[in-house]
């Protein structure tokens, strides 16, 4: 991935695109994990969110969130570090991120697998 990662202008984002990006248990878990931090690497994010995703799946989710203006990806050496674009999102969609973060969590695939193995 090049240093010039595309980030859309949140002021021009349609709500439907943001909602579509959020409409996935793994991506919701990533947003929750990254919220309130000053950045999490993809690897650390996977662990914090309890996702146990492959690198390619994680990369896919990272791209969807980034292209929908939800997270910002910065390159630090070989790591991709994600932050939540909280202020910009709050300005365009007041209350949306807060509502998402306040909502009940739902089991991700890894959590469901662990529960089944118990």
Long-range contact pairs involving 46-51 (C-beta distance under 8 Å, separation at least 24): 49/108, 50/108, 50/110, 50/111, 51/26, 51/108, 51/109, 51/110
* Window 29 to 88, contacts with a copy of itself (CB under 8 A): none
Q: Which of 106, 109, 112, 114 binds a copy of itself (CB under 8 A)?
A: 106
Using the rule CB under 8 A, is 115 a contact of a copy of itself? no
Using the rule CB under 8 A, is 15 a contact of a copy of itself? yes
Neighbours of 66 (CB within 10 A): 20
Q: What is the DSSP string of 25-56?
A: HHHHHHHHHHTTSS-EEHHHHHHHTT----HH
- Beta-bridge partner residues of 58: none
**Cβ proximity to a copy of itself, 5 vs 8, nearer residue:** 8
Q: Which of 7, 72, 86, 92 binds a copy of itself (CB under 8 A)?
A: 92
The size of the interface with a copy of itself (CB under 8 A), counted in residues, is 23
Q: Which of 3, 38, 104, 115 binds a copy of itself (CB under 8 A)?
A: 104
**Cβ proximity to a copy of itself, 27 vs 80, nearer residue:** 27
Are the C-beta atoms of 84 and 97 separated by less than 8 Å? yes
Question: Under the rule (CB under 8 A), what is the footprint of a copy of itself?
Answer: 14-17, 19-20, 22-25, 28, 92-96, 98-100, 102-104, 106
């Amino acid at each position: 991935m090049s240093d010039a990662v595309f980030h859309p202008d949140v002021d021009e984002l349609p709500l439907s695109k943001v909602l579509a990006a959020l409409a996935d248990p793994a991506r919701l878990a990533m947003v929750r994990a990254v919220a309130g931090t000053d950045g999490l690497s993809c690897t650390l994010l996977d662990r914090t969110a309890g996702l146990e995703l492959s690198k390619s799946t994680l990369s896919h989710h990272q791209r969807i969130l980034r292209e929908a203006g939800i997270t910002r990806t910065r390159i630090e050496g070989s790591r991709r570090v994600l932050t939540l674009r909280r202020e910009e999102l709050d300005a365009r969609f007041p209350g949306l991120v807060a509502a998402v973060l306040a909502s009940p969590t739902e089991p991700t695939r890894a959590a469901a697998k662990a529960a089944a193995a118990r």
